A and B are shown apart, each in its own frame.
Chain A
Amino acid sequence: MTAASAPAPPRPLPATRRPGFAAARLLRLELRHNAMPWMLPVAVALFWLTTYRKTMAMPPLWNLRAAGMQSGVVVAFVCPVAGAAAWMGSREARRRTADLVTITAQSRWARQLATWAATTGWAMVGYLGCVGVLYGVTAQQAAWGGPLWWPAAVGAASLPVMSALGFAAGALVPSRFTAPLVAIAAFFALVLSTELIHGSQSYWQVSPVVTGPWDTGPDAGVATFYPYLPDLPIAQVMFLIGLTIAVLGALALPRGSGGRSLRAAAAAITGAGLVAAGTAVGLAGTGKLDDHGMIAIPALHNAASDRPIRFTPVCSHTAIPVCLNPAYASYLAPTAAALKPVLTEIAGLPGAPARVSQGAATYEQGAGNGVGIGLAGPTTSGTPPVYHMLLPDQQLGPTLTTSEFASEVRSTIGPDIVANVIGDGPGASQAQHAVAAALMMAAGLPVHGPAPRTAVTANSLLEPGTPAFAAAQRFAALPAPARHAWLMRHLAELRAGQITLAQLP
């Protein structure tokens, strides 16, 4: 036996040859030499300017802030993440090391996946930090409820796909122009794709910036009386994961990315990703606005989500208690203060509500992206009667300041409560109009209208100089006990339309 033919003793594999260890080492190297950490300050600054400030200016409601966060954070991160990924994807061509790394043990696909994973990992660190701060501050301020995780999941699922698309573009077209143009194209696709949404049955709702009926914006009325519907977020996450898998699989398809079996597996992965993404788009197109203001997708819908949430309302200590959903506890003081004069005027009268209670809103899809919002159920119900109302913030429109909110409550809900008690309405008598206007004047509610000193009640408009206006002024000028005593005696007749103006004191 010669030395050449003698069997060599088996030599243990070096530690670096173990696949898991090698992958971890490669990932560590990529994490250390990645452009994304340098982009994080830009992403965080954009998040602070465009999302955090705006979201923190909203009332401390989880539904509002989580929805605002989802839309904002995706837009804030898209340019830095897609651009950095494209920059990293073009690295081998930019540094002219393509030939050098071709001879390494790892396949090109494995190297690319490691670079993509490192880029995405850094982006995820920044994202989680931003969301953590926003949710942490909200947790300290919110009076009721808990964090909504689906919006955070959609945002998190958006980062890998941004990164994958940017990386693929950089790898396929390595040029100094690729990264900036990818960043701008990604911003364009994300922000302006929503222009194509018409109504709640739109395929474009699969875009991760969409959190509900488009054009209504974050709405305080959803996900407080009924659970947050995960239907649309599930479709969005499915789409984003499917697209990520498809793009990453497609990276291995070009010749030279790996062996034949690897490319076949990558083709299968790409196909599966495309099927998942396509299915999600199809599901999003079957969504429709449900009664509670969210997008329901029949194939993903859980009927348990239609049951109202149980809660113990928070109530004021006014003459007639004002009770709100505990999520809106911060609204209680301004609402009670705004309604207190009216409630003092009508407290104890026959037919006056025993409680003023916040009701749930009901939603209806209008033409195009229009959405109609109304009170679910009757205004007054039960024995003793309970008056139900929608707070101004439950309706569409800009978020109001505290003074704007109080003014809105005083000028809309106050007159409506008075009209409800007096029976003032379109067919009511002149005496009912006059008494309703008088109670508003006595309660200090704004008496306004097109002409000077025109009294506008919930259902009538009294012009100065008319007998009804004079009667209203006369009745309002009575001392409160006298006014109250007269109403106690005559309210039933007044509501029946049996009192004339001349009979008013």
Chain B
Amino acid sequence: MTAEGVRETPAAAARAGRPLWAGMRLVRLYAASRRVPVALAAIAACAIGLRITLMGHWDTYGAFQLPLLIEAGAAVAITATAASPLGEPERITGRWLPFLRLATALALTVVAAGALAAAGAGAHLAGGTLDVVRNLAGLTGIGLLCAAALGGGLAWVGPTGYLAVGAYGLYTQWHHPALTTPWIWPARPPHDLGAAICAGLVFAFGLAVITTRGARDPAGE
């Protein structure tokens, strides 16, 4: 951020003194620093991509693996917003940071789930909306945990690695022995309680960690 970006008119400075305006400005600046608009665009692109691909004819593998790929795309877009370009100075001064992190991750996940569910509405979406919500939450949770462990820039490593695991889990449903552990939730049916609990736990843990600790900021990045 340059000094030009924070230059303000006196009227703007007066508005900024009011708590509501200050809060909105903080949210806007936080969202801009985390590239939230780009993430929203990426999520929208995923939803449009899902809608377009659902118009095509896919065999059973494709019908199940395709939504998982797009869910992974949305999840990595969400987790990419965990990276902070400001690092230590922001950590020291930003007492609202944990809430902003929590709100951003939650809001983006809800938006992504809603967009993907809407994209699948009226089309033959294998697994249905429940599958979308479960897989998206789980993948996002993995990404948030990776952001805390590896840094926001490398948060994609977990979800993309897990994508290959999930796609393989789906493949084994036709090529036994099948992987049936609920920790590989994409391979479980949408109403499987164990898989939903595992995905939910990972998401909750990821949210908690990213809220309290934030993404790791590796030196030099």
Contacts and interface: CB of A to CB of B under 8 A. Distances in A.
On whether the two chains bind one another, the answer is yes
B191 to A, nearest CB: 25
Contacts of A179: 153, 156
Nearest to A175: B38
Interface string A73-108: 001101110010001000000110000000000000
B174 to A, nearest CB: 9
A446 interface: no
Contact of A83 (B38, B157, B175): B157
B83 A187 contact: no
Contacts of B157: 39, 42, 80, 83
A95 B153 CA distance: 12
B30 to A, nearest CB: 15
Given A42-B161, A83-B160, A192 B65 contact: yes
Interface string B73-86: 10011011001000
Contact of A177 (B59, B77, B154, B159): B77
A87 B218 CA distance: 14
A187 B156 contact: no
B167 interface: yes
A491 to B, nearest CB: 44
Contacts of A54: 175
A177 B69 CA distance: 16
B54 interface: no
**Interface residue tally on B, bucketed by range:** 35 or more
Given A46-B164, A50-B165, A87-B153, A177 B65 contact: no
Interface in A11-60: 35, 38-39, 42, 45-46, 49-50, 54, 57
A181 B72 CA distance: 9
B163 interface: yes
B205 to A, nearest CB: 20
Contact of B176 (A49, A181, A191, A398): A398
B35 interface: yes
**Interface residue tally on A, bucketed by range:** 20 to 34
Given A79-B164, A177-B80, A192-B65, A95 B221 contact: yes
18 contacts: A39-B157, A49-B165, A50-B164, A50-B168, A79-B161, A80-B157, A83-B160, A87-B153, A176-B80, A177-B77, A180-B79, A184-B69, A187-B160, A187-B167, A192-B62, A192-B66, A192-B69, A398-B175
Given A76-B164, A187-B69, 14 more contacts: A35-B154, A50-B168, A75-B164, A75-B167, A83-B156, A176-B35, A176-B152, A177-B42, A180-B73, A180-B77, A180-B79, A180-B160, A183-B76, A187-B163
Interface of A: 35, 38-39, 42, 45-46, 49-50, 54, 57, 75-76, 78-80, 83, 87, 94-95, 175-177, 179-181, 183-184, 187-188, 191-192, 195, 217, 398
Q: List the 9 closest pairs (A to B, CB-CB), nearest first.
A: A180-B156, A180-B76, A79-B160, A50-B168, A183-B160, A42-B161, A195-B62, A176-B80, A184-B73
